[in-house]
A and B are shown apart, each in its own frame.
Chain A
């Protein structure tokens, strides 16, 4: 699930605006012109760019909607997502139940709303974990170089060589197989762990290559000449300048993790029935594809919209951050 074009986007230090020495030459200019010459950072520039994009606002609005939905599902529905009545099994969508009822007679609309929480929480936490671990490893490997770099890169190669779905199946059946009675949060934790374990090498390679590109920059050499320690150089100089590709990749990754979580639940090895999630709903609906396709349609539509919003946000951020496209 690596995005190849994100990998090529290594942030290059932007040419600094020439700074004026001596007396301010623009003292006589009006206020607005002075504001124009004030140098902005990469993020400031990107934000200015983003604000003008409709794509950004649309995807941000959808993401906000999904986040509110997962935090307060009762705002959207008063239905019961867990208990059903078998008498209304597979009743088609109607005015009182917009999305119909599933096989167990549970309200599909309520389930779809409540299903947002598991997907969003898993995706956000695993993205956070992946960025943290992959980013840290990448900085260490890129900055230290030598045998540390060699060792970390080989370890990353080992994890990178594991096929994603296959690796997740093995990890999850080990800790979450049939017969284990893990509670809801523990299962979520395991799913998050397996996503992080299988995806950190991509982030590590991204971070390592951008650290390698930035490490030799003049301002790093200058900082070192002034006596700055490794910790200070990494935190104050390297990190802010290598953050841009990570930010883009992270946003897109949230989207793909929502899809990955659904895939794992769909295979029956991720989240399990007392938990409500889109993947579980789709998995349950597949057996009734021929008779009640609506059971499949509504959770899939929500899933696709959520994934799409994060991917579109990532695209918009990428275009804003990439100096080549300006």
Chain B
């Protein structure tokens, strides 16, 4: 187990470096002058330019810039923006908002998706089954921003059930609608995967044995069947957290949430590679660690899986 974990963590290193360098290089090569419009109409005085160039290594090659960025990163310092604000500060204020939204979305999709999947997996080909199949098809096909606008218009504007945008306090009740919008497509996938998995395991020998032993149906489904059918669902849910946080940009824009999406767009326009890379670094870390966590969870869910 320990050796497996170590090997996995070592494998993360090249992927992590490759991804961050790729993003760094892309933002670095965005055409444009970082000083444009910074000092009003007259342009920046030469000594200010010289000072900034010195401070941010702007005259150095990309390798030097990237190396010095990474060096600071490993000391827990993401750097500072051109306007002198600490990037750690930006991350601390914007990340929790996106994380909250993503966690709400994840919980909604887990509850509804799993519920729909279990119900339809147990009774196939009924009315409910067909209803879920058709509605999941729609949810998969609808782009997030269409779902967002339609639900915002109906629930927020026309019927006035919820406030159409989210306030700065990020109350839980306000996040329900954006969370549902963000998680809608994955919810459909989870429902479908859970349905297939339950339907396959429904005919397994251990289920028949459990029924023959006289266990109540609730226990057969809740303990024996669910635990064995959960593995593909857990994979989906685990890899989804990173995807939800990265894909939240659109939802954040529609509902006016001050999350990482807004910061990334702002930072790209002002050509602050350090900010963009820092935000992506945290996202990639979340994504990679969740993948690892999912693999470790397998062993907990299925005793047949052992990591040596």
Q: Measuring CB to CB, which residues of chain A are less than 8 angstroms from any residue of chain B?
A: 3-5, 154-155, 157-159, 161-167, 169-171, 173-174, 177-180, 255, 259-260, 262-263, 266-267, 282, 286, 289-290, 293, 296, 300, 303-304, 307-308, 311-312, 315
Contact = CB atoms under 8 A, between A and B. Distances in A.
B63 interface: no
25 contacts: A4-B193, A4-B235, A158-B22, A161-B15, A161-B19, A162-B22, A164-B246, A167-B23, A169-B249, A170-B276, A177-B268, A179-B32, A180-B31, A259-B143, A263-B143, A267-B250, A267-B253, A290-B157, A296-B153, A300-B149, A304-B141, A304-B142, A304-B143, A308-B137, A311-B140
Contacts of A266: 145, 250
A213 B288 CA distance: 26
Tell me the interface secondary structure of chain B in the complex. helix
B21 to A, nearest CB: 9
Contact of B250 (A3, A263, A293, A303): A263
Nearest to A310: B141
Contacts of A282: 145-146, 149
B28 to A, nearest CB: 9
A162 B19 contact: yes
Contact of B27 (A158, A174, A262, A286): A174
B247 A308 contact: no
Given A157-B15, A169-B249, A174 B30 contact: yes
A166 B283 contact: yes
Contacts of B245: 163
Contact of B247 (A155, A163, A311): A163
B189 interface: yes
A266 B30 CA distance: 21
B105 interface: no
Contacts of A263: 143-145, 250
A246 to B, nearest CB: 19
Contacts of B32: 177, 179
Nearest to A261: B143
Interface string B280-293: 10011001100000
B31 A163 contact: no
B35 interface: no
Nearest to B140: A311
Interface string B134-169: 000110111111100110110001000000000000
Given A163-B246, A304-B143, 17 more contacts: A5-B193, A155-B18, A158-B15, A163-B280, A165-B249, A167-B23, A169-B265, A170-B268, A173-B268, A174-B26, A177-B30, A260-B143, A262-B143, A263-B144, A263-B145, A263-B250, A300-B149
Nearest to B249: A165
Contacts of A315: 137
Nearest to A300: B146
B238 interface: no
Contacts of A4: 189, 193, 232, 235-236
A286 B193 contact: no
A255 B246 CA distance: 21
Kindly name the residue among A163, A266, A282 whose own CB sees the greatest number of chain B CB atoms within 10 A.
A163
B143 A307 contact: yes
Closest 7 CB pairs of A and B: A163-B246, A158-B18, A259-B143, A308-B141, A307-B141, A157-B15, A161-B19
B196 interface: yes
A60 to B, nearest CB: 16
Contacts of B30: 173-174, 177
Given A163-B245, A166-B264, A303 B19 contact: no
A257 B133 CA distance: 22
Contacts of B280: 162-163, 166, 170
Contacts of B26: 170-171, 174
Given A4-B232, A174-B26, A174-B30, A307 B142 contact: yes
Nearest to A304: B142
Contacts of A307: 141-143
Contacts of B284: 161-163
Contacts of A293: 153
